[in-house]
């Protein structure tokens, strides 16, 4: 499958769709997931057009991982999470639903189970204070 320039993350990168940003640099963007599996669920994407990890340049993969680690550390600290799950799916059979390579950063809390993937959309306004907390820990 060829990279689709109209996928939702490409549209977010171009400013055609809104986002609640957590972090951005020259090569990556991190934003709150609109369908969070857990409080503080953040998506980290490269600005490089790549469908999955196999399409991403080695430099892009390194930058994506560096930003993912930075966000995971900040989310864990700021949200007082007990643990963090990092999920990266490459390919439809792996469960990838948006075909722009990305990591999901999902904080964990004692007694709070993860919700199912892409099940319920939340009001973006509720994500703003969580994003602010994470940004404060960067």
29-66: pLDDT as tens digits: 999 999 999 999 999 999 999 999 999 999 999 999 99
Residue 115 domain-assigned? yes
This prediction's pTM: 0.97
Contact 68, 84 (CB under 8 A): no
Question: The tokens of 129 are what?
Answer: 């204070």
Q: What residue numbers bound the domain in which 17 lies?
A: 8-136
Kind plus residue range of the DSSP H or E element containing 43: strand 42-46
Which residue intervals of the chain are DSSP H helices?
Answer: 8-13, 58-78, 128-136
Residue 3 domain-assigned? no
Would you tell me how many other CB atoms lie within 10 Å of the CB of residue 122?
14
Cα dihedral: 110, 112, 113, 118 (round 10): -130
Residue 35 domain-assigned? yes
Would you tell me how many other CB atoms lie within 10 Å of the CB of residue 116?
9
Contact 42, 86 (CB under 8 A): no
Q: pLDDT (tens digit, 9 = 90+) per residue, 83-125? A: 999 999 999 999 999 999 999 999 999 999 999 887 889 999 9
Would you tell me how many other CB atoms lie within 10 Å of the CB of residue 79?
18
**Computed over its alpha carbons, how large is the radius of gyration of the chain?**
14
Rounded Cα gap, residues 33 and 37, in angstroms: 8
**Count of domains observed in the chain:** 1
Residue 28 domain-assigned? yes
Residue 100 domain-assigned? yes
Residue 51 domain-assigned? yes
Catalytic residue flag (residue 102): yes
Return the pLDDT at 116.
85
> What is the CATH number for 124?
3.30.428.10
Give the mean model confidence (pLDDT) for residues 65-89.
98
Residue 2 domain-assigned? no
The catalytically annotated residue of 41, 100, 102, 108 is: 102
Return the pLDDT at 135.
98
Give the mean model confidence (pLDDT) for residues 126-132.
98
């Amino acid at each position: 499958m060829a990279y689709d320039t109209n996928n939702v993350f490409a549209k977010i990168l171009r400013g055609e769709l809104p986002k609640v940003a957590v972090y951005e640099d020259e090569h990556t963007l991190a934003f709150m997931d609109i369908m969070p599996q857990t409080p503080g669920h953040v998506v980290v994407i490269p600005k490089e057009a790549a469908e999955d990890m196999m399409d991403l340049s080695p430099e892009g993969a390194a930058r994506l991982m560096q930003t993912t680690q930075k966000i995971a550390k900040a989310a864990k600290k700021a949200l007082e999470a007990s643990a963090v799950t990092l999920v990266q799916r490459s390919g439809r059979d792996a469960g990838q639903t948006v075909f722009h390579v990305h990591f999901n950063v999902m904080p964990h809390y004692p007694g709070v189970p993860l919700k199912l993937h892409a099940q319920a959309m939340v009001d973006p306004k509720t994500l703003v204070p969580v994003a602010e907390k994470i940004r404060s820990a960067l």
